[in-house]
Amino acid sequence: MKKECAIVQDMLVLYEDDCLQEESRKMVEDHIAECQECRWVYEASEKMQDIQVQTQTESDLQIQKSASQIMKKIKRRTTLKAVIGIVLIVAVIIGGHVFCNHITDSEWGYSEMLYGIASGDVEVTQLYQLSGGDIYCILKSSKSIGIQSMTGLKDPAELSDQNEEQTLEYRMRGRTFWETVSEPEIKQSTIIFPVRLEGISEETKQEYTCYAKQVVFYGKTMSDKKVIWNEGQDIAKAPDEIEYRAIRAYLENGNVEKAYAECESLGWDSAKIIAEIGKQTSQGGMYEDAGVPILVNEK
């Protein structure tokens, strides 16, 4: 190999990278134009570079394609996990609510378990039988009372067992944290429970009479209960003050007929008593069903 060829071939790398000065660049170009051997070396070097670039480009494309496929798989898996997670959360919430409804036999669900007042936190402080037969009861709670729930006497034809003797149920839920701001604190509840109901069945069109055999307070679950009253239980007759409050409660709840009947059973002047109470309060008519327990205004 000529000395000049060796120098030019050593300079080819710098020439290809455009790192030579103008004079050296021109010398290399002139030599390649005249020397076939050096021209072959130069062309071979260019082809190798093209192959390397092409190989690198194809490799990059393959890497990008693989990376894209991996990201798609990760995205699909992440989306699937998120959907499964949401479904599981919803299932737990619904299942928990159904389970709570089952063990409490109440529509309050989670609220019953969290805020329901246990039977051990409730005390029966007064229990009377009114002249007309209804049960007048005062319950005190060690916790603040929020919502109260009661069941009343029903047409036996509407019940699965069609039983004329029925159990009245009563529940209290404690105040939630948002109710502590909007509602006054109450730790006592006065209720009048009906013990007898007469009517005409909408289903059978026949007359019926049903009775309350028991009044039960239920706490957080169906097994957490306190019996307030049993049929035939020996309890005190209501004093006149309690009778007067009961008649007022009947009128406030729209049950004028029952208010008159209570006055008559006491031998009181019904027209006078009802007129007197009517001046003190308005008859809102919240309940017209004589079989529904009545919450007595504590004021």
Write the single-letter amino acid at 134.
D
> Given this model, what pLDDT does residue 93 score?
57
Section 10-18 average pLDDT: 72
The better pLDDT of the pair 32, 121 is held by 121
**What 3-state class would DSSP assign to 220?**
coil
Section 252-273 average pLDDT: 90
Place of tokens 């690198």: 56
> Given this model, what pLDDT does residue 40 score?
75
Question: Cα–Cα distance between 259 and 225 in angstroms, integer?
Answer: 31
Kindly tell me if the per-residue pLDDT of 62 is higher than 80: no
By DSSP bridging, strand 236-237 and strand 122-129 are: parallel
Decide if 32 contacts 8 (C-beta within 8 A): yes
Query: Average pLDDT over the chain, rounded to whole?
Result: 79
Nearest to 66 by CA among 54, 74, 78, 76: 74
Burial label, 198 (beta-carbon count in 10 A; 0-12, 13-18, 19+): exposed
> Given this model, what pLDDT does residue 285 score?
46
> Given this model, what pLDDT does residue 192 score?
96
What DSSP state is assigned to residue 226? E
> Given this model, what pLDDT does residue 188 score?
92
Q: pTM of the predicted model, to two decimals? A: 0.62
Kindly tell me if the per-residue pLDDT of 256 is higher than 70: yes
pLDDT digits (tens, 9 = 90+) for 71-115: 666 667 777 677 777 777 766 656 655 555 555 555 555 566 677
Decide if 270 contacts 177 (C-beta within 8 A): no
Q: Which of 14-18, 77-81, 148-152 has the highest mean pLDDT?
A: 148-152
Question: Cα–Cα distance between 293 and 191 in angstroms, integer?
Answer: 7
Kindly tell me if the per-residue pLDDT of 229 is higher than 50: yes
> Given this model, what pLDDT does residue 243 score?
95
Three-class DSSP labels, 227-238: EEEECCCCCEEC
The better pLDDT of the pair 180, 121 is held by 121
Section 112-141 average pLDDT: 90
> Given this model, what pLDDT does residue 100 score?
55
Kindly tell me if the per-residue pLDDT of 54 is higher than 60: no
Residues 6+ apart with CB under 8 A from 199: 155, 207, 208
Kindly tell me if the per-residue pLDDT of 66 is higher than 90: no
65 pLDDT tier (thresholds 50, 70, 90): low
Write the single-letter amino acid at 112.
E
